[in-house]
Amino acid sequence: MGEEMKRILLIAFMVGLAIIALLSSQLIALATPQISVGFAHTVMIKEDGTLWAWGGEYGNSPTQIGTDSDWAYVSAGMGHTVAIKKDGTLWAWGCNISGELGDGTAWETLPICILNCGEQGGNESLTFNPQCGWNLLSICVETPYTSVKDIFGNNLDHINSIWKWKSNNWAVYIPQMPDGGKAYAQAKGFDILTEINPGEGFWINAQQDFQMEIQGQSIEDTGISLSDGWNLVGLKANESISITEVVNKIKTENEDLSIVSVWKWEDGKWAVYLPQAGKEATEAYAENKGFSVIENINPGEGFWVNAVSGLQTSFLPKYGDIFTDGKVDLKDLLYTLKLLIEEKEAVETPATLLGIVFDINGDNKIGMEEAVFILKSLAKENN
């Protein structure tokens, strides 16, 4: 074959490649409004406005980024990505070693708003500072993602396990296990934890101290919905709220339930508040148990609420009239004291209900010391 023929064939081959590339780009353009290739990853906006990526940290197949469907333009860099939404807000994520993202962090796993954020309403930032060991947390901002993997990203390397209480059962995710703890959860009768929503409380068992930041928007519906029994919840507002305000808010939004107790994990020990007993009785109970008293619930803190149906805000009007004469007087209180001293079970007396949380000396029974304390509380409440 002559040199001239080789040259002609080479030119034809290159033209063919160019045509194939052109057709491919046109096909991609028809299928997707935007596609951009970075150093090790590719990002794409589909016709439905959803955002997808593959390569590098995203793996070998397209993975959706968040759940939003209003993306308009995207561009991939060496280790970071920037995108614009249809409302004009600018978002960025990925490596930030050289300040590419403009938010002062080292890395963002998912998009954070960095420009014109006020136009998309209430941009919020939540910073966690988990300590080595157990931490009780919650998310108080609306994020574009709820997946555990997306929320924690590279911080999963610092975490032994994550736990959430839902529908009277534990759900767990164990990052260091290849299956995320699925086999362990099944063996124990637990659920596998896949997502965490704003307002849900959760435990983190951390390997070490670390810091992480979550970007999102303020939540319009800040309600705290409870069910009968133990609830692990968190605030949906990025501000501290006094415990009395929290309890009043919960009462208003859950009229069929009464709050027996509220608990949070603070500085390696429990803090408690007993709405039915009041502040003075709560302080006495906490002091005898070695607990502290909850003053406020802060953004990012998870807390337990024990709620029961069928109780009143005050025990006495419903349960204290033992002799059913229409009033709670000394003979009712004396009879209650008699029941306590004899250690008999009195299911529908305020003594039994209050005694659940007033085992002052921790001997698992109600004796004279506890009885007198409870009766003083009841008498004070009755006045």
Q: What secondary structure letter does DSSP report for 277?
A: T
For residues 315 and 150, which has the higher predicted lDDT (pLDDT)? 150
Provide the CB-side half-sphere exposure for 60 (13 A, CA). 0
Domains defined along the chain, listed by start: 32-121 (2.40.10), 125-217 (no CATH), 229-309 (no CATH), 316-382 (1.10.1330)
One-letter identity of residue 271: A
Which of 100-109, 113-122, 174-183 is predicted most confidently? 174-183
Mean pLDDT of 146-163: 90
pTM for the whole thing?
Answer: 0.59
Distance CA 184, CA 199 (A): 26
Position 16 scores a pLDDT of 54
Asked if the model's pLDDT at residue 307 lies above 60, the reply is yes
Position 27 scores a pLDDT of 42
Distance CA 369, CA 383 (A): 22
Share of the chain above pLDDT 90, in %: 28
Tokens standing for 330? 């000394």
Position 303 scores a pLDDT of 97
Tokens standing for 296? 């406020």
Position 107 scores a pLDDT of 64
Distance CA 231, CA 161 (A): 20
Mean pLDDT of 219-229: 86
Question: Of 69-83, 88-102, 142-156, which gets the smallest average pLDDT?
Answer: 88-102
Q: Which residues contact 24 (CB under 8 A, 6 or more apart)?
A: none
Distance CA 276, CA 107 (A): 46
For 285-304, how does the pLDDT look when each residue is reduced to its tens digit (9 = 90+)?
888 888 999 999 999 999 99
Tokens standing for 222? 């800040």
Mean pLDDT of 102-114: 68
Which of 64-73, 265-274, 344-353 is predicted most confidently? 265-274
Mean pLDDT of 324-344: 55
125 DSSP β-pair partners: 215
Asked if the model's pLDDT at residue 146 lies above 80, the reply is yes
DSSP string, 305-360: EEEEES--SSSIIIII-TT-SSS--HHHHHHHHHHHHTT---TTSHHHHHHTT--T
For 16-31, how does the pLDDT look when each residue is reduced to its tens digit (9 = 90+)?
544 544 444 444 444 4
Alpha helices in 35-159 (DSSP H): 148-152
Position 295 scores a pLDDT of 94
Q: What rounded mean pLDDT belongs to the chain? A: 76
Position 234 scores a pLDDT of 95
Residue 136: which H helix or E strand, with range?
strand 133-138
Position 276 scores a pLDDT of 75
Distance CA 211, CA 100 (A): 20
One-letter identity of residue 182: K
Question: Which candidate, 142, 152, 143, 144, places its Cα nearest to that of 66?
Answer: 144
Tokens standing for 290? 């070695």
Position 193 scores a pLDDT of 96
Position 22 scores a pLDDT of 46
One-letter identity of residue 141: V
Mean pLDDT of 304-318: 57
Position 29 scores a pLDDT of 43
Question: Which candidate, 305, 164, 316, 166, places its Cα nearest to that of 243?
Answer: 305
Contact criterion met (CB below 8 Å) for 53 and 43:
yes
What are phi and psi for residue 24, nearest 5 degrees?
Answer: -65, -45
Asked if the model's pLDDT at residue 337 lies above 90, the reply is no
> Please, which pLDDT band fits residue 131 given cuts at 50, 70 and 90?
very high
Mean pLDDT of 52-78: 84
For 241-261, how does the pLDDT look when each residue is reduced to its tens digit (9 = 90+)?
999 999 999 888 888 787 888
Asked if the model's pLDDT at residue 136 lies above 90, the reply is yes
Distance CA 382, CA 144 (A): 50
